[in-house]
Structure 1
């Protein structure tokens, strides 16, 4: 009988109750089925059940969620999608990769008037993997919501980086390698400049444009970081250490 319940829940994405039919009147959400020469009542509850993951998944977080309005917007943007609430997020599921990028949250915000954060969880066929990636996103969400350098569209790469940052904060042996007392004394604009330089692929021109900084001002700040931290951000290893250290510092001050 349990297998039958699981089958119907998988097919309908609804919570199912099944019990024997004894000529009692049927309710609106009930119907009869025959199984192994017995007649049963199948009762469908409105509560959504999500036990089987398949396809491409995106999580959408809005502080002031109006689910029906958000679903309407998503249905207008994309075809053949499933949209449902799961835990405190809205899940967008599709059998194909959707055209979602950095501009998508802005489009949704213009229609829903609510700050929007989207995370791409990848192509998933295992509900356990889905729940694990959701829990990682949930864990780093406070940092994503307050980090001025973070994007509103979060990729799997971003989730990996932010998860490492939080693991650093939890793992005291690694945490102790970062000189937070020194970082506290540094102008935050200088720290954000270094982060922006790394996130713009160590490219002077791209960083200057994104920060509206003169090229020479940016170069001066990078030299200042090198002087203070002994890290040359044009070198991958130095940039890597600086990025994780500063991001961990910001995360610890949420």
Structure 2
């Protein structure tokens, strides 16, 4: 299975997706506040490294992740926040996240530099995100692009993500297993319901009929304070992504 975040533009996509699906505990005011985040991705025909400096505002909210090629800029208001993604200093994506009364993201509005427009609607059961529906807009009108339905274990970890299209056809099923290591660092704002309490051990993807697409196995390293310092994502086709976390 190819790991999705290999070229720089795909790293950008992965970091956008991770805002919704791979969230750690609130980093505000604790020892897990990041100074730098590094991704090193290797495939059979490419090797890409990107290093992001992480900045915060006076409320310890992430305001930017910046590398020479990519920059994520967050701006906050009382009931929403925005994300601007710059690729090589050119605005690529602008997204508005609307916050509900429980201080979780309720919905989004996004447009990009190709004039594509999408929105998302999040449905929760308690504090768990159970459905994420993406709508696309065009001159023909509005249509459902994808829908993700999430299942959790008793610890609040996502164990299954079933993705379907606008007609209800299942495109992809992703299942997860977990380690006993707490998930305690994040590279995104804190307005997303945590998708897990522990770091994943494996991620397996099949198509809608159950035929294997691929598997990723995760391994980790920690410092003397128990903080995550390195994550290695190894795909079954040989692709490897190494993520390094450097703290203040």
- Alignment TM-score > 0.5, same fold: no
The TM-score normalised by the length of structure 1 is 0.22
The TM-score normalised by the length of structure 2 is 0.22
> Relative contact order, CA 8 A, sep 6+: which one is greater?
2
More helix by share: 1
Structure number with greater Rg is 1
More strand by share: 2
